[in-house]
Amino acid sequence: MIKNYIKTAYRTLLKNKGFTVLNVLGLSLGLASCLLIIFYVVDELSYDRYNTKADRISRVNEDLKLGENNVLYAVCMPPLAQALKNDFPYVEDAVRLKNGGSRHVKKGGVNILENKTVFADPSLFNVFTLPMINGSPATALTEPNSVVLTETTAKKYFNSTNVIGKTLTFDDNIFYKVSGVIRDIPRQSHFDFDFFISMSTLPDSRSTEWLRSDYNTYVLFKNAGDHKKLEAALPAFLNKYSGEQMQAQLKMSMAAFEKGGSFFRLNLTPLTDIHLKSNRTGELGPNGTTQYVYIFSAIALFILLIACVNFMNLSTARSANRAREVGVRKVLGSLRKHLIAQFLIESILVAFAATVIALTAAIALLPAFNQLSGKDIIVNSQTMVWLIPALLLIVLVVGALAGSYPAFYLSAFQPIAVLKGKLSAGFKGSGLRSFLVVLQFSISIFLIVGTLVIYNQLNYIQTKNLGYNRNEVLIVQNTFELGNRANVFKKEIKQLPGVVNATMTGFLPTSNWKNTAIFFKDAAFDQKKALFPQTWEVDEDYIKTLDMKMAVGRSFSSQMLTDSSGIIINESAAKFLGLKDPLNKPLYRSNGGKQDISNSKEYHIIGVVKDFNFSSLRDVISPMVLVLANNPGALSVRVNTKNLPVVLSQIKDKWKGLTPNIQIDFSFMDQDFDASYRAEQRVGTIFIVFTALAIIIACLGLFGLAAYAAEQRTKEIGIRKILGASIAAIAGMLSFDFLKLVLIAILISLPVGWFLMNKWLQEFAYRVNIQWWVLVLAGFTSIFIALITIGFQSIKAALSNPVNSLRSE
Amino acid sequence: MIKITNLEKFYRTEEVETIALNKLSIEVKTGEFVAIMGPSGCGKSTLLNILGMLDDPDEGSYVFNGIEVAHFTERKRADLRKHNIGFVFQSFNLIDELTVFENVELPLIYTGVPSAERVKRVEEVLDKMQIMHRRNHYPQQLSGGQQQRVAIARAVVNKPKLILADEPTGNLDSSNGNDVMELLTDLNEQGTTIIMVTHSEHDARYSHRIIRLLDGQSVVENIMV
Ligand SMILES: Nc1ncnc2c1ncn2[C@@H]1O[C@H](COP(=O)(O)OP(=O)(O)O)[C@@H](O)[C@H]1O
Ligand SMILES: [Mg+2]
């Protein structure tokens, strides 16, 4: 019996090649897109799960509120990890990591700049699952000046992983002994380092200060539920240690501190939440956001929905043609259940074929998708473990849903009625089909709106006046390598023809250098009025080189000896401080610890710089101050592009002249800027690609339906033509039936799209408004696309000779 | 009114070539009622379709009202057709989705008659065909005889000079068939030229003249008395 079903199914499908191809193609395309996005989402969701103890690990964070300033840190106090181990028996272990920044590591005679270095406690290998190839996990990081390398790094420096006991030279004069080699850090890890240096190397790691935070601290609990217990115990714990030091240094109890509206709290983030949910100051690396996971999941769902709707629409449309077959089969003795089985099997068979094609296509397209998404997803046998059952489920659900209309509806007909042709199963009659087309197009139009809004916002980010000019600025990184010759370097560079200006500092709007300090408006040191600004050390050429504008006052000057106590604030800081006329007003910088005149530095405001964006456009520009200091972090050079290659080689020569052993490392400010929005750019591209796919799939369906509708109405079209209808009138009539549905979809989706995309834009402090033309364009685009799709079929039908369509009599 | 000379029509399929009309020459005068008879497949419908300008001949001439239309463009033919010719089919060919009224109204819409005028004319003709009480019914709700009356109403609503009927009684019982023939006779007496294909000698007797076709050629022309 089954064999007979499959045979009939196969033949019916073959007989209607056009429909079958359209149907299978649409579903495969949809499923393949959906699969790629699912890979992406699963990848995002499985960060840090490589740790076998992942569900027992949490990171300790600090939330600080000081007056109006609120900072969320991913780091904690130096002695915290040890104290947690001492005080709480359910804390099995704790580990501190401290970003080691950029270091030069010698290979042969050349110093190579390495950015992925970190200091780590010996307990690292007990908490995290970082399998060691060589060396002893228990002791690898106990001795000072020892370093554990990843496999790739070991091979890079020694061409071997058998390197225990070998020495690596850091920064030309520091020697670390290799004490272990671990496997490369899994791709899905929230941190990614190549060099793990023993924490004991760092004298500061033995600090007992409880009032500053700069160590990423992770706790391993004995049991998975213990983090709740610890979270409850943290306030008292903090009061015990920090409170004591606060009393001693600030002459203030924790209670009094909190009474002033400020606070100082600890909390926990489960390890597996870090990648998607944590975006604090002092993260070990850039994290993702849940937002994109939601957005992409929604797109995947949409595409799957559109593809399934297509499949159902086309299947049911075609099945109406088979009413006669049902009648004949029934007359010949077929039972209803046989017909149900036949239709279901046919539909599941098609769904299965589509799924196989989709899986193959998704795997084939994975490299391209990785490029697009900036990911490195691989599909292996582990993926298949969950993928195959999931796909089989989809096959069954989609196949059964699509097959259920013909199966249960058609099989119920009385054979006599069907054979007499009473049943026209008119196309117009199907409200369900109309509803599904409206649904498909609503989604497509919504995606068009989404794409346009995202595109506009990205464009806005690219072209917004940021308050400085990032074009034609070359940044020579790590000028601290030059030591006290850094200033010589700057002087020499400034003299080069083609160089407009140059400024020496690591604090740049496009760099990750950040530094906050505490300032008070008056000597009363009122906690509530404390200013907690970005405090950047710059030189007298900073404002001019970066093309920033002064609102009032002047920039620093080398001529003014008093400028070492001068300070420039930005407009936000002036507003925060409530200063109408800020020039020459004092500002007191707290030196931590006790807050009195003797222990703080007094500045006077010499100018107000116009606000410039120095963090993501997602955030409002926060208060910032600039102080005059020698900071040799980097040299930013404004150049004249006409002779860039020449200037560049001259700069390289100067660098070589000063330090022949260290390679110069430079970048361009506009590229650094673009890099910081790469995530957004990627999302934008992915959105566009998948929106296009969604629309194509919807159009495939519409194309099929239009063909079907035209076929159903050939007789009517013939009659109308004989009665004098013009081709245009008929094509118009056929098109309008669908266009009506598209119009309804527009009415539904434009308001929804407007609302949801506005919500997305709220994430940006600096954003575009959704222009009316975006909505109009989305509407017209959909009408245009639909018209092309339907128009072809309608005109074809309208052109046919009526004599042929009426010949069947 | 109609003069065809040496008209030829072939149908080519992959293997065979069928000669549907073979050098056929016929003349029909204004006001005539002509019946066309002949065995199945002899080319009656083909002839009617060409006369109705739904199809064009491969060879020969077709002069309609003094105009040579054999090689008219589709557009010109459609224009001539909708103002001059009404069709009645064996299987009625009403549009199922439209009511009786709307079906009859359709030709008027396509010739651009204003809405108020349309209502008047449709009601007039429905009255004449005695199906006014069914104006809001759908074709499926009518008997065969009623459906054919609607189809005739639709064919005459535009006041055509020529009505082409392809086996108009073929799907009807004899009583309904006679009604239809009476209607056609009435129309003819009011001046409409009628060309009708039929298998029934009984029906053919209503006409003035019978043209008998055999394999696409006119064999005999009987003049009724
Ligand atoms: N579209 C067509 N394609 C091929 N052959 C056709 C077509 N229409 C009619 N014929 C052939 O032309 C001949 C005349 O057909 P028709 O005019 O319909 O005959 P009648 O109406 O007299 O029964 C028949 O042999 C028929 O098979
Ligand atoms: Mg015929």
Which residues of chain B neighbour A802 with C-beta distances below 8 Å? 54
- Measured CA to CA, the distance from residue A372 to residue A530 in angstroms comes to 45
Residue A809 has pLDDT above 50, yes or no: no
What is the helix (H) or strand (E) element at residue A71, kind and residue range?
A: strand A69-73
Work out the burial of residue A620: count CB atoms within 10 Å of its CB; fewer than 13 is exposed, 13-18 middle, 19 or more buried: exposed
A-chain residue closest to B53, CA distance: A722
Work out whether the CA dihedral A109, A110, A111, A113 comes out positive or negative: negative
Exposure letters A68-93 (e unless 16+ CB within 10 A, then b): ebeeebbbbbbbbbebbbeebeebbb
Residue nearest to atom 21 of ligand 1 (CA): B45
Angle at A158 between CA A155 and CA A160, to 5 degrees: 55
Two structure tokens written together for A361: 């296509």
What is the arithmetic mean of pLDDT over A776-805? Answer: 85
CB contact under 8 Å between B54 and A722, yes or no, is: yes
| Predicted local confidence at residue A799, as pLDDT | 84
Residue pLDDT, tens place only, A185-199? 998 899 999 999 999
Q: Which of A720, A724, A806 is nearest residue B81 as measured by Cβ atoms?
A: A724
Residue pLDDT, tens place only, A533-585? 889 999 999 999 999 999 999 999 877 767 788 999 999 999 988 888 889 88
Which residues of chain B neighbour A732 with C-beta distances below 8 Å? none
Lowest mean per-residue pLDDT among A305-309, A710-714, B119-123, B164-168? A710-714
Which residues of chain B neighbour A425 with C-beta distances below 8 Å? none
Exposure letters A439-463 (e unless 16+ CB within 10 A, then b): bbbbbbbbbbbbbbbbbbbbeebee
| Predicted local confidence at residue A568, as pLDDT | 94
Question: Which ligand 1 atom minimizes the distance to the CA of B43?
Answer: 17
- Measured CA to CA, the distance from residue A372 to residue A361 in angstroms comes to 16
Residue pLDDT, tens place only, A701-721? 888 888 878 877 888 888 888
For chains A and B, what is the number of CB pairs under 8 angstroms?
50
Which residues of chain A neighbour B110 with C-beta distances below 8 Å? 720, 723-726, 729
CB contact under 8 Å between A424 and B54, yes or no, is: no
Site to substitute for ligand 1 among B18, B19, B91, B219, most atoms within 8 A of C-beta: B18
| Predicted local confidence at residue A760, as pLDDT | 84
CB contact under 8 Å between B55 and A803, yes or no, is: yes
A 717-736 near B (Cβ less than 8 A): 718-726, 729
When pLDDT is cut at 50, 70 and 90, the band that residue A426 belongs to is: very low
Residue nearest to atom 12 of ligand 1 (CA): B20
Exposure letters A193-225 (e unless 16+ CB within 10 A, then b): bbbbbbbbbbeebeeeebeebbbbbbbbbeeee
Distance from Cα A729 to the centre of ligand 2, integer Å: 28
Distance from Cα B45 to the centre of ligand 2, integer Å: 4
A-chain residue closest to B91, CA distance: A809
| Predicted local confidence at residue B224, as pLDDT | 61
- Measured CA to CA, the distance from residue A551 to residue A532 in angstroms comes to 21
- Measured CA to CA, the distance from residue A282 to residue A274 in angstroms comes to 12
What is the arithmetic mean of pLDDT over A204-229? Answer: 92
Angle at A515 between CA A513 and CA A520, to 5 degrees: 155
Residue pLDDT, tens place only, B187-212? 999 999 999 999 999 999 999 999 99
Question: Which ligand 1 atom minimizes the distance to the CA of B13?
Answer: 4
Residue pLDDT, tens place only, A332-371? 767 777 778 888 888 888 889 999 999 999 999 999 999 8
Q: Does A715 touch chain B (CB under 8 A)?
A: yes
Which residues of chain A neighbour B55 with C-beta distances below 8 Å? 801, 803
Residue pLDDT, tens place only, A157-183? 999 999 999 999 998 889 999 999 999
Lowest mean per-residue pLDDT among A56-60, A92-96, A432-436, A583-587? A432-436
- Measured CA to CA, the distance from residue B70 to residue B67 in angstroms comes to 9
Q: Does A716 touch chain B (CB under 8 A)?
A: yes
Q: Which residue type, as a one-letter code, is found at position A624?
A: M
Q: Which of A424, A716, A724 is nearest residue B107 as measured by Cβ atoms?
A: A724
Q: How do B209-214 and B33-37 pair as beta strands?
A: parallel
- Measured CA to CA, the distance from residue A446 to residue A752 in angstroms comes to 7
Residues with Cβ within 8 Å of residue A319, at least 6 apart in sequence = A343, A405, A406, A410
- Measured CA to CA, the distance from residue A365 to residue A369 in angstroms comes to 6
Q: Which of B78, B91, B94 is nearest residue A724 as measured by Cβ atoms?
A: B78
| Predicted local confidence at residue B195, as pLDDT | 96
Q: Does A803 touch chain B (CB under 8 A)?
A: yes
Q: Which of B54, B82, B154 is nearest residue A803 as measured by Cβ atoms?
A: B54
Work out the burial of residue A124: count CB atoms within 10 Å of its CB; fewer than 13 is exposed, 13-18 middle, 19 or more buried: buried
Two structure tokens written together for A463: 């072209």
Two structure tokens written together for A222: 């004995």
| Predicted local confidence at residue A428, as pLDDT | 43
Q: Which residue type, as a one-letter code, is found at position A447?
A: L
| Predicted local confidence at residue A425, as pLDDT | 47
Rg of chain B over CA atoms, in angstroms? 17
Ligand 2 ion: nearby residues, β-carbon < 5 Å: B 45
Task: Tell me the range of A123-132, A630-639, B141-150 where mean pLDDT is highest.
Answer: A123-132
> How many other C-beta atoms are found inside a 10 Å radius of the C-beta of residue A559?
7
Interface test with B, best of A422, A723, A734, A795 (most B CBs within 10 A): A723
Residue nearest to atom 16 of ligand 1 (CA): B43
CB contact under 8 Å between B97 and A715, yes or no, is: no
Instruction: Give me the percent of chain A exceeding a pLDDT of 90.
Output: 35
CB contact under 8 Å between B95 and A720, yes or no, is: yes
When pLDDT is cut at 50, 70 and 90, the band that residue A62 belongs to is: very high
Answer whether A627's CB lies under 8 Å from A536's CB.
yes
Residue list, ligand 1 pocket, CB within 6 Å: A 804; B 11, 13, 18, 20, 40-46
Query: Distance (Å) from the C-alpha of residue A738 to the closest C-alpha of chain B?
Result: 17
CB contact under 8 Å between B107 and A428, yes or no, is: no
Q: Chain-wide mean pLDDT for chain A?
A: 86
- Measured CA to CA, the distance from residue A315 to residue A349 in angstroms comes to 12
| Predicted local confidence at residue A402, as pLDDT | 77
Which residues of chain B neighbour A806 with C-beta distances below 8 Å? 89, 93
DSSP labels, B57-78 = -SEEEEEETTEE-TT--HHHHH
What is the arithmetic mean of pLDDT over A603-608? Answer: 92
Q: Does A235 touch chain B (CB under 8 A)?
A: no
Among residues A315, A306, A308, A305, the alpha carbon closest in space to that of A405 is found at A315
Which residues of chain A neighbour B95 with C-beta distances below 8 Å? 716, 719-720
- Measured CA to CA, the distance from residue A94 to residue A126 in angstroms comes to 9
| Predicted local confidence at residue A427, as pLDDT | 42
Q: Which DSSP state fits B91? A: T
Looking only at Cα atoms, what is the longest distance across chain A? 109
Work out the burial of residue A192: count CB atoms within 10 Å of its CB; fewer than 13 is exposed, 13-18 middle, 19 or more buried: middle
| Predicted local confidence at residue A120, as pLDDT | 97
Residues with Cβ within 8 Å of residue A45, at least 6 apart in sequence = A276, A293
A-chain residue closest to B81, CA distance: A724
Rg of chain A over CA atoms, in angstroms? 34
Residue B28 has pLDDT above 50, yes or no: yes
Answer whether A398's CB lies under 8 Å from A303's CB.
no
Q: Does A186 touch chain B (CB under 8 A)?
A: no
Among residues A497, A513, A495, the alpha carbon closest in space to that of A505 is found at A513
Which residues of chain A neighbour B52 with C-beta distances below 8 Å? 722
Lowest mean per-residue pLDDT among A323-332, A637-646, B90-99? A323-332
When pLDDT is cut at 50, 70 and 90, the band that residue B77 belongs to is: confident
What is the arithmetic mean of pLDDT over B104-113? Answer: 89
Residue pLDDT, tens place only, A372-393? 888 888 888 888 888 899 889 9
Among residues A490, A587, A592, the alpha carbon closest in space to that of A542 is found at A490
Q: What are phi and psi of A130, to 5 degrees?
A: -125, 85
> How many other C-beta atoms are found inside a 10 Å radius of the C-beta of residue B12?
9
Q: What are phi and psi of A375, to 5 degrees?
A: -105, 180
CB contact under 8 Å between B90 and A806, yes or no, is: no
Work out the burial of residue A713: count CB atoms within 10 Å of its CB; fewer than 13 is exposed, 13-18 middle, 19 or more buried: buried
Question: Roughly what angle, to the nearest 10 degrees, separates helices A336-373 and A381-404?
Answer: 140
Q: Which of A719, A724, A726 is nearest residue B95 as measured by Cβ atoms?
A: A719
Which residues of chain A neighbour B96 with C-beta distances below 8 Å? 424, 426, 716
Residue pLDDT, tens place only, A289-312? 888 888 888 888 888 888 888 887
- Residues on chain B bordering chain A, Cβ-to-Cβ distance under 8 angstroms: 49, 52, 54-55, 78, 81-82, 87, 89-91, 93-97, 106-107, 110-111, 140, 154
- Measured CA to CA, the distance from residue B95 to residue A629 in angstroms comes to 89
CA distances from A241 to A80, A205, A259, B2, B97 (A): 9, 17, 19, 114, 85
Distance from Cα A807 to the centre of ligand 1, integer Å: 9
pLDDT, greater one: A678 or A94: A94
Residues in chain A, how many? 809
Interface test with A, best of B54, B80, B98, B159 (most A CBs within 10 A): B54
Strand order in the sheet with B17-28: B17-28, B2-12, B59-64, B67-68
Residue nearest to atom 17 of ligand 1 (CA): B43
| Predicted local confidence at residue A135, as pLDDT | 93
CB contact under 8 Å between B54 and A720, yes or no, is: no
Two structure tokens written together for B144: 């065969």
Answer whether A575's CB lies under 8 Å from A555's CB.
no
Distance from Cα A716 to the centre of ligand 2, integer Å: 19
Rounded to a whole number of angstroms, the distance between the first and last alpha carbons of chain A is 36
